[in-house]
Structure 1
Amino acid sequence: MFIEIIVLPREEQPPKRRTGKASKASPAPEARSRAELASEWRDEGKAFHDAVLEFIKAHHLLGAVKWMSEPGLLPQVTLIASERVLEKLQAEPRFAAGRSLTMNLQS
């Protein structure tokens, strides 16, 4: 049976607060155009997509994947795959993976 799986990068732990020292105000972010931001996000999305694909290939799970989304602006991959793929992705520290919620709507 195939299920829909959503894979995101695992969130890193927030940095510990410094105690006893006054924190300096961070400098204003440099102004960048939307095109530059979109290009950077596209690169991040592609890199994450490639990391998920390489993981699947390295663990010989390609035959258990029916469909995989294309890279986008977000570091997110959607898969139609077997439960075994979900289990392997959840065990990998780089990824946060789970089943997507299915809704049956009737009118």
Structure 2
Amino acid sequence: MFQGKFVDNSRKVKSLKSIEFAIEHPQEHESKLIKKSRLLAVVAWIGFFVSFLLYFQELRGLYLPALASFSGILYGLSMYLDSTIKQWPLVAKHVDIDSVKKEISEIET
């Protein structure tokens, strides 16, 4: 599954266990992603709000576009998690859980 010399075994095992958990516990996986998505969206909107407040109070500086950009990145991550939530049921059907478990056991031994 994993190829390349830049991915170490601990990272492989962590990723594979994450996939295994997502397949075996789909509701928990979905609720975890929903919580992360909502948290990122709330923090992003707070950042946008603060950016607009600072802009209209004419407190401009380098921090203002940095804060707005960071908020935009957070909101983009929130949208990414939302699409992941919607796509995972389709992808999970095509993942061979036995192959994932076998690779975890091979790496850990």
TM-score (norm 1): 0.31
Higher relative contact order (CA 8 A, sep 6+): 1
The answer to which structure has the higher helix fraction is: 2
TM-score (norm 2): 0.31
The answer to which structure has the higher strand fraction is: 1
